[in-house]
Structure 1
Amino acid sequence: MNAALRQSLGRKPCGSLRVAVAGETCVLRCSGALWLPAHGALVAADLHLEKGSAFAMRGQMLPPYDSRATLDRLEAEIQALDPATVVLLGDSFHDTKAIPRMATEDRARLNDLSAGRDWLWLEGNHDRQALALDAETVARLPGRIVGDLALGRLRMTHEPAARSAEDDRHGEVAGHLHPCARVAAYGRGVRRACFVTDGSRMILPAFGAFTGGLNVRDPAIAGLFAAPPMAAALGRDRVHPLDWTRLN
C-alpha cells in the first residue's frame, strides 16, 4: 500500500472506511456503495437488476428476488445518507429487456427513492437501450442517462481504461469488473467483494445481489494499477483494508 493512501485511511463509526482519491474524501460503505460527502452523492456499480429473471428465461431457475434484495440494500443506503445525487455506474440492468420484467412494486420503489434527488444512470452495456425502450412507456423509470460524469476531481465512468498523464490529474471511479479479494483466514480461504484503489483510481464492487466477482489479482484488474493498490473487503459490519501482499 503506498504511503499517501495509507495516510488517508480513516474509520467511520458505522464501520465504513474513509480514503482519499485524488484529494476527494471517499467513504467506502459496507454495502459496497461509495459515499462522497462533499457532493452529497451516493455511488453504486453494477446492480444487474433482473438477472434472476434473465436466467429463468433460459431455463436456469434462480430465486426471483435479486432485484428486490438489491433495492432493499440501495434503499437502506438512501435512508441512512439522504443523498442529493445518486449515481449508478452502469450495468444497472442485466439486459436490454430487463425493465419490463421488473415487478410493479420494484418500479414504484425506484420512483419513491428518486423523489427529490438527481438520479443518474451511467451508460453500461445495456442501460441506454433498456432505458430508451422504457421511455416509450407511460410508467417510465425516473432519472436520466449520461455518459462519463465529473464530480469535483473525480471522473465517474462505467469501465476503467488505460490512463494518460493528463488523466492522472483527476481521479477515476469505475465499476464493471466486480472486484473480489481472497485471503487466507482461520485455516481457510475467504473471498469477499471489495473496493480496490491506489489513491488515484477506484473500482467499486458490484452492488447487485446475484453478481459474481473477479479476483483483484487477475491481470484485468491488477494491470490497471502502476503500483500495488489496496483492496478494501466488505465484511458483515465493517470494511477491511487489505495489503496487496496478503491477497491470494
Structure 2
Amino acid sequence: MNAALRETLAPARRDCGSLSVRLNGERALLRCSGALWLIERRTLIAADLHLEKGSAFARRGQMLPPYDSRATLARLAEEVATLKPERVVLLGDSFHDRTSIQRLGEDERALLAVLAEGRDWIWLEGNHDREALGADLDALPGRIVGDMALGALELTHEPRPGLRPGEVAGHLHPCAVVAAYARSVRRPCFLTDGRRAILPAFGAFTGGLNARDVAFTGLFEHPPMAAALGRDRVHALSFDRLL
C-alpha cells in the first residue's frame, strides 16, 4: 500500500480482527463479517443480503440448500448483538427477487422483527428488490428509502460513475484474488481509498466479481486498498497484489 493511501485510510488492526479506517473523515471498522461499522454514528451497514436466493433457484429447478436466509440473518444477528447499533442500514438487494419477501419463513420474519426492535432499521432499494420492497412495505420492520446521507457519507446501492467522495455502496460484490500457497485464493473484500467504499456482499449465497474487473474502472482516483475477509481477520492488500 502506498504511503499516501495509508495516510488517508490510517488502517489499524482491532482486537476482533477488523480494520479501523477513515472514510471521508468518518471513523469506521471493516468487519470480518463483511459489514461496515461507523463508530461515532453507531451505525451498522451491510450490502446485498440476497435473502431467499436459494428458494428462487429452486423454483427454476436448480436445487440449493434452503438455508441461505437463515445463515445470513444469523450472521447479521451476531453483529447486532456484538455492536448494539442504534441504526442498521441495508444497502439494497436485501431480497433476491420480487417475491422473496413472500417466501421468507416465519422464523426469519420473527428474527428480523427482534433485530429491528428499538433501533432505526433502514432498507435501501436495490435493483433486485425495488419492486419487492414497494409491494410488501407492511411486511417488514423499519423504513424503506432510496439513497441517504449520513454525516460525510452518501449511502447508496449501486456505485455511480466517476469519483464520488463519501459514497458507500454495494451491488458489485467485490472479491480479491491473490496468489497464495502455490494457488490462487479468492475472498470477498471491501474496496476503499479512504474517500469512497464498496462493500462485499453479505449474503450466504452471493458470488463475487474480481476487484480488477472493468466494472470498477474509474471509481477510484488511485488504486484502492482491498480489505479481504479472512476467517478471523480482515487482510489489507495493495491493489498491485491482486490477480
TM range (shorter): over 0.9
Contact 2:120–2:142, Cα closer than 8 Å, also in 1: yes
Q: Please tell me whether the aligned partners of residues 4 and 199 of structure 1 are also in contact (alpha carbons under 8 angstroms).
A: no
Q: In the alignment, residue 13 of structure 1 is paired with which amino acid?
A: D
| CA distance in 2: counterparts of 1:126 and 1:221, whole angstroms | 20
Distance across 2 between alignment mates of 1:200 and 1:2: 15
Aligned residues: 241
CA distance in 1, matches of 2:120, 2:126: 19
Measured in 1, the distance between the counterparts of 2:180 and 2:128 equals: 38
- Fraction of identical pairs, as percent: 68
| CA drift at 1:4 | 4.0
The 3-state SS of whatever aligns with 1:161 is coil
Task: Give the TM-score taking structure 2 as reference length.
Answer: 0.96
Q: Aligned residue for 2:181?
A: 186
TM-score (norm 1): 0.94
Q: Which residue of 1 is the match for residue 156 of structure 2?
A: 157
* Alpha-carbon distance in 2 for matches of 1:153, 1:69: 32
Secondary structure of 2:197's counterpart equals strand
Offset, 1:2: 4.5
1:146 aligns with 2:145: yes
Distance 1:104 1:222 in 2: 42
Segments of 5+ residues of structure 1 without an aligned counterpart are none
Supply the distance in 2 between the matched residues of 1:77 and 1:4 (Cα, whole angstroms). Answer: 31
Which residue in the other structure is 2:111 paired with? 109
CA distance in 1, matches of 2:155, 2:222: 21
Amino acid in structure 2 at the alignment position of 1:73: R
Q: 1:234 is matched with which residue: 229, 236, 239?
A: 229
Q: Which runs of 5+ in 2 are unaligned?
A: none
Q: Secondary structure at the match of 1:105?
A: helix
Deviant stretches of 4+, over 6 Å? none
1:225 aligns with 2:224: no
SS of 2:85 mapped into structure 1: coil
Question: Using the alignment, how far apart are the partners of 1:135 and 1:158 within structure 2?
Answer: 18
What SS does the corresponding residue of 2:79 show, helix, strand or coil? helix
Does 2:85 align with 1:83? Answer: yes
In the TM superposition, what are the counterparts of 1:1-248 in structure 2 within 5 Å?
1-7=1-7, 8-135=10-137, 140-163=139-162, 167-168=164-165, 171-248=166-243
| Aligned equivalents of 1:218, 1:56: Cα separation in 2 | 29
Aligned residues: CA RMSD: 1.2
For 1:23 and 1:3, the matched residues in 2 are separated by 17
How far off is 1:5 after superposition? 3.2
Amino acid at match of 1:216: A
User: Which digits, 9 at most, give the CA deviation of each residue in 1:110-165, with x for residues without a partner?
Assistant: 000000010000010133321232235xxx1101110111111011000001246x
**Deviates most, 57-66 or 221-230:** 221-230
For the 8 Å contact 2:162–2:218, the answer to whether it is kept is no
Matches of 1:128 and 1:160, distance apart in 2: 16
8 Å CA contact 2:175–2:209 kept in 1: the answer is yes
